[in-house]
Amino acid sequence: MSTALSTGAPQGALPKVENMRVAIVAAEWNGHITGALTQGALDVFRREGFADEDVDVYHVPGAVELTFAASQLIEASLYDAIIVFGCVIRGGTPHFDYVCQSVTQGITSLNADCDIPVIFGVLTVDCEQDALDRAGGALGNKGSEAAETAIKMHDFVCKVKEI
């Protein structure tokens, strides 16, 4: 088994990265949730020593627009990772299914076709409380986890390029 990509760090420890630039795109819809996710991510980046100018935050109207925004940021070639935050709460119509499918397929396609990792931070929940629990509540903050994932994926890309 090859260990070329092993960091040697304990599982869960974040690798130390240098000169990493990150874009966060947050949907305005359910902004109290996406704002908490964004803050969780920013807290991790600050804790890890990122300067304020290393992380840019953008806003789009809703979850469906996240794919387009991420695509444009990839084309700009300014970032090493992009995080998208959205929150889609199930309602009484099939709209939930269409939105979730659209954003999931869109971000998956970008990850398959592009060289910059796009971190999926979209909560797809049955009720607002489920989202609150995942945006700094009882179940932690998925925004923090997304920031950690961005750092790990950037480190992964750097290691692959060294091979």
Provide CB contacts within 8 A for 45, sequence distance 6+.
22, 54, 55, 147
19 and 151 Cβ atoms separated by less than 8 Å: no
Return the structure tokens found at 31: 């902004």
95 is an active site residue: yes
The one catalytic residue among 32, 59, 95, 154: 95
- Dihedral class, residue 12 (left if φ above 0, else alpha if ψ from -120 to 50, else beta): left
Closest to 26 in 3D by CA, of 78, 66, 72: 66
Place of tokens 């600050």: 46
Query: Phi and psi dihedrals of 29, rounded to 5?
Result: -65, 135
In order of 29, 46, 92, 94, the CA distances from 55 in angstroms are: 21, 10, 37, 35
Cite the active site residues: 95
